[in-house]
Every structure is written in C-alpha cells, then in structure tokens.
C-alpha cells in the first residue's frame, strides 16, 4: 500500500476535527480506511471550482491493482453487441475526446451524520470533488461495437484486486445514460493522465450520478439485456421507495438503485468550531445538484431563523458545482450557527434533516458550522 509509514498531523489542518494523513500524491486528506484506501477532503478545500488531484477524495471498495502495464492493458467491449471489440490505449486515444467538468460525490457522503448510526465508511462532508474529465464518449465506443436491440444495460468491470470472498465491484447503468453524449471512458483528469487512485488508465465517468457508477481501472464493458445482478447493485446502492422509520430495515423488493445526486451544499469557510477575530467575514462554499442546476443558495447566520441569498460564482458547467459566497458582519461578539441551503432547477430544496435510510445514502441535510466571533 502506497502509504507513508505513519499518519501525520498536517499543521495547517490542526483545526480539522479529524487527523490529516500523508499519502503520496495526496495532500492533507482525512484517512477513512487504510485496508482499502479511502480518503476524504477536509471541507476547507472546497474553495475552488476545480478540485486539484491531491485534494480529490478516494473511494476504493477493494485493493487498487498492484501492477498495471499500459503495454498489455486492454478494454474489451462485448455482450449484446454485433462486433465485440478489444481496445488498447492507442485505440482509445483515436476516438474523439470530449471533456466534462463533473462533481463526483460518493453516495455515502454524509453518512457519519445519520442518526441512528448506519454501518459503512463514516464519510463526513468531503467525499466530493469537481474535476475536468476527458476521454472518448462511451456512446462512440458502443456505436462502433453496434448495440443489439436486446441491449438494455451497460456493465463496467475494473481491475481491482478482490480479496478473499469479497464480491467484485461490478455495476451497470441503463443504456440510455450510457448513450448520453457526456458519459465518458475518461483517460484524463484535470488535463493529465488519470492518477492510479482515480482509475488509471481509464475509468467510466457517468456525470451527475453517484460516484459508484464511474468504475475505475476499467477493463471490460459488457452490454446486458437487463440490469446487472450482483452485490453492488443489490443489496448495495439501493434506497427505499418510501420513507422508512429511522432504524428500520427496508424490504429488498421495495427499493430502487441510487442514480443521480441530490441537491446539496457545503460550507468551506469559516471552518466548524473556529474562532474569528473580526466581525466581518466571508462565508463561502459550493453547491451541486447532479443532473439539475443550482438556482440559489441561501445562508442563515441565526441557526435557521432567517435566510439571505448568497452570491453565485461565475464558473459553471452542466454537472459541476457552483461556488457561492456571502459577506456578513456579525452584529456582536458571540457564538453563531451558520447554515447553507441550496435549491435546484428541479425544485428540490435541501431539507433540514434528510430522510434516514439504512445505508446512509445521499444525505443532503443542510450544512451547519458553529463559530465564535471574538471581536
């Protein structure tokens, strides 16, 4: 495992509630799992439209491939197609390249705040990031293979090393999303070859959907006549069809797969539990909505009693988060609860408390930070 000997506290992050860790190629990230590398971005890094690779979260269900020889790497395309393909990296690079700026979020981001507690990686706020992903459109590859009329779902399989009895990370997406002009087989992230943690040499990139749809270290694409059946499709990554009582189990037949992301916002400054030595401050952060657009972000500085609209940043793209900011003067020294609430073009508004579900998926409860103004 490519981890430095011990976790160290980065002095710049000494205010973070969780210890930062040292991983080559990564900077100041929170270690959520060591066995299979899972790294969370401290919320303070959500301060730029594009997240740098060193600050981009990592979510692995199993071991990353130990060795990966680009000279022998191949991507096969098979199943319900007229002409099965075997593509090398050189073949992939001959397809037209398309770039999508996408906010990638793990379905389990925010799971740590579920009450009652749910099992799984205890992601707090930062299993999310925005990057420019580039590569061929999946649609162009599927067209070359010629999808048969029986093709309904597209399955992705990566080169993860599957330990023992763990089921392999295989999932599928509906053909319609696979044929969307923005769904990619990405070979680049922020203008450079994908880093190993992010799926080198190629990954699926299914914009606006939960991160689990975007399979890393891709080696096989298979067109299926129905949704893939496997652990990571069911029981994994499913939500109850109706709200259930917190703590209750969901009936498997009464669930559906998690697909597009929710409307959500994150406060990047000021930091939670910080003391501010000025009464004037800039409240800022990001907001995203999967396949929808953010229409407004509102800020409360009085624990939700009143709300004011934030200014939106100028950078925008279909599947990317928006930066927002709100200049505020605290009326007097004291303790304050600051909250951010996003609304999107589908009319969705972040709830004060997101409906509980047994896996803690898509938790988009309104973000809050507590601060002390000492001036």
| Residues making contact with ligand MTE (CB under 6 A) | 56-62, 104, 106, 158, 160, 169, 198, 211-212, 214-217
Which residue's CB is nearer to ligand MTE, number 62 or number 337?
62
Which residue's CB is nearer to ligand MTE, number 32 or number 137?
32
Reduced to 3 states (helix: H, G, I; strand: E, B; else coil), residue 76 is strand
Query: What's the angle, vertex CA 32, arms to CA 320 and CA 274, rounded to 5?
Result: 75
Spatial CA neighbour of 186 closest among 104, 86, 259, 100: 100
What's the min distance (Å) between Cβ of 144 and ligand MTE?
23
Spatial CA neighbour of 319 closest among 215, 224, 207: 207
The answer to whether the beta carbons of residues 21 and 32 sit under 8 Å apart is no
What's the min distance (Å) between Cβ of 123 and ligand MTE?
9
Which residue's CB is nearer to ligand MTE, number 37 or number 263?
37
What's the min distance (Å) between Cβ of 196 and ligand MTE?
10
What's the min distance (Å) between Cβ of 295 and ligand MTE?
26
Which residue's CB is nearer to ligand MTE, number 138 or number 283?
138
Spatial CB neighbours of 119, under 8 Å, sequence gap ≥ 6: none
Spatial CB neighbours of 348, under 8 Å, sequence gap ≥ 6: 262, 263, 289, 292
Which residue's CB is nearer to ligand MTE, number 235 or number 331?
235
Pairing of β 322-329 and β 280-288: antiparallel
Which residue's CB is nearer to ligand MTE, number 158 or number 257?
158
* Residue 308 to residues 107, 269, 299, 341, 342, Cα–Cα distance (Å): 29, 17, 5, 10, 12
Task: Look up tokens 């080559």; give the residue.
Answer: 24
Which residue's CB is nearer to ligand MTE, number 126 or number 136?
126
What's the min distance (Å) between Cβ of 331 and ligand MTE?
41
The answer to whether the beta carbons of residues 25 and 54 sit under 8 Å apart is yes
CA distance 351 to 341: 8
What's the min distance (Å) between Cβ of 62 and ligand MTE?
6
Query: Which region, left, alpha or beta, applies to residue 290 given φ > 0 means left and ψ of -120 to 50 means alpha?
Result: left
What's the min distance (Å) between Cβ of 56 and ligand MTE?
6
């Amino acid at each position: 495992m490519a981890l430095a000997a011990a976790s160290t506290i980065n002095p710049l992050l000494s205010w973070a509630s969780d210890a930062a860790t040292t991983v080559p190629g990564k900077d100041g990230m929170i270690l959520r799992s060591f066995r299979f590398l899972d790294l969370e971005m401290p919320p303070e890094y959500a301060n730029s439209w594009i997240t740098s690779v060193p600050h981009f979260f990592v979510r692995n269900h199993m071991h990353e491939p130990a060795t990966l020889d680009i000279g022998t790497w191949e991507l096969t395309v098979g199943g319900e197609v007229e002409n099965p393909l075997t593509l090398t990296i050189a073949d992939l690079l001959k397809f037209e390249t398309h770039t999508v700026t996408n906010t990638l979020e793990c379905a389990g981001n925010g799971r740590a705040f579920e009450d009652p507690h749910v099992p799984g990686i205890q992601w707090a706020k930062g299993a999310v990031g925005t990057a420019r992903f580039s590569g061929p459109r999946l649609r162009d590859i599927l067209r070359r293979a010629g999808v048969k009329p029986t093709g309904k779902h597209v399955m992705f399989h990566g080169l993860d090393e599957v330990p023992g009895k763990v089921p392999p990370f295989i999932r599928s997406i509906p053909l319609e999303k696979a044929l969307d002009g923005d769904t990619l087989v990405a070979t680049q992230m922020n203008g450079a070859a994908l880093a190993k943690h992010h799926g080198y040499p190629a990954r699926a990139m299914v914009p606006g959907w939960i991160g689990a749809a975007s399979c890393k270290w891709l080696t096989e694409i298979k067109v299926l006549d129905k949704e893939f059946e496997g652990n990571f499709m069911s029981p994994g990554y499913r939500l109850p069809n109706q709200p259930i009582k917190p703590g209750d189990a969901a009936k498997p037949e009464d669930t559906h797969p998690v697909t597009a992301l929710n409307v959500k916002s994150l406060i990047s400054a000021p930091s939670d539990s910080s003391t501010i030595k000025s009464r004037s401050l800039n409240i800022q952060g990001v907001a995203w909505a999967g396949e929808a657009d953010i229409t407004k972000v509102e800020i409360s500085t009085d624990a939700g009693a009143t709300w004011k609209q934030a200014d939106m940043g100028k950078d925008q793209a279909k599947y990317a988060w928006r930066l927002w900011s709100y200049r505020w003067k605290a009326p007097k020294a004291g303790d304050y609860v600051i909250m951010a609430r996003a609304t999107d073009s589908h009319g969705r508004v972040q709830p004060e408390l997101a409906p509980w579900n047994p896996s803690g998926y898509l938790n988009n409860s309104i973000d809050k930070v507590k601060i002390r103004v000492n001036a």
